[in-house]
C-alpha cells in the first residue's frame, strides 16, 4: 500500500501505531507492504517496509484504544478523518533490499500501488519468505 514518507517516518518512530485507510482489508491479511512514495523527492519510490497487523482487527471510528497514544488515533475515533478503518501496527520490518519501482515494473510486472494491492507469492517468497531465512531479507525495527 502506498504511504507518504512523513507517515512512514511516524510509524518507524512509533509515534503512529495505526495505519488508517478508507477501505477494509479482508480478514486474514496479516502484513502491510509499504510502498514509500517519492513525494517530491523525499521518499524512495520503493517498497521499503512490512508491517505486521492482527488477522482480524479492523478498527472503525470510536474503537481505536486511546492508550498508548498514537498520531491520528483521536481524530480517527472522532470521525474527523476520511478513513473508515484502522489497522494496528504490531511489528515493523525494514526490507534489506527495497523493491524499487524499476524492479516492480521489470521483474514483477506491476506499477506503483495507487492505494493497495495484494502481493504476489513470488515477491512474497523473494522478500519475506519462511522464517528460517527471513533475517537475510528484513531487519525487525520493533
Model-level pTM?
A: 0.93
What's residue 133's pLDDT? 79
What are the domain boundaries of the chain?
Answer: 2-102
How many CB atoms are closer than 10 A to CB 45?
17
Cell digits of residue 15: 509515534
Q: What CATH class has 2-102?
A: mainly beta
> Tens of pLDDT along 59-93?
999 999 999 999 999 999 999 999 999 999 999 99
DSSP 51: E
Q: Quickly state the pLDDT bin for 116 (edges 50, 70, 90).
A: confident
The b/e string for 104-135 (b: 16+ C-beta within 10 A; e otherwise) is: beeeeeeeebeeeeebeeebeeebbeeeeeee
Amino acid at each position: 500500500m502506498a504511504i507518504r514518507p512523513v507517515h512512514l517516518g511516524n510509524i518507524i518512530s512509533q509515534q503512529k501505531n495505526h495505519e488508517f485507510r478508507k477501505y477494509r482489508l479482508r480478514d486474514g491479511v496479516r502484513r502491510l507492504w509499504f510502498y514509500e512514495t517519492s513525494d517530491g523527492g523525499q521518499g524512495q519510490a520503493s517498497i521499503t517496509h512490512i508491517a505486521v497487523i492482527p488477522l482480524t482487527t479492523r478498527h472503525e471510528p470510536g474503537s481505536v484504544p486511546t492508550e498508548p497514544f498514537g498520531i491520528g488515533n483521536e481524530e480517527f475515533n472522532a470521525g474527523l478523518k476520511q478513513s473508515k478503518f484502522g489497522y494496528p501496527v504490531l511489528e515493523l520490518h525494514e526490507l534489506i533490499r527495497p523493491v524499487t519501482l524499476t524492479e516492480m515494473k521489470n521483474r514483477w510486472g506491476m506499477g506503483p500501488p495507487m492505494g493497495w494491492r495484494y502481493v504476489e507469492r513470488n515477491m512474497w517468497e523473494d522478500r519475506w519468505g519462511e522464517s528460517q531465512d527471513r533475517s537475510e531479507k528484513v531487519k525487525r525495527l520493533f
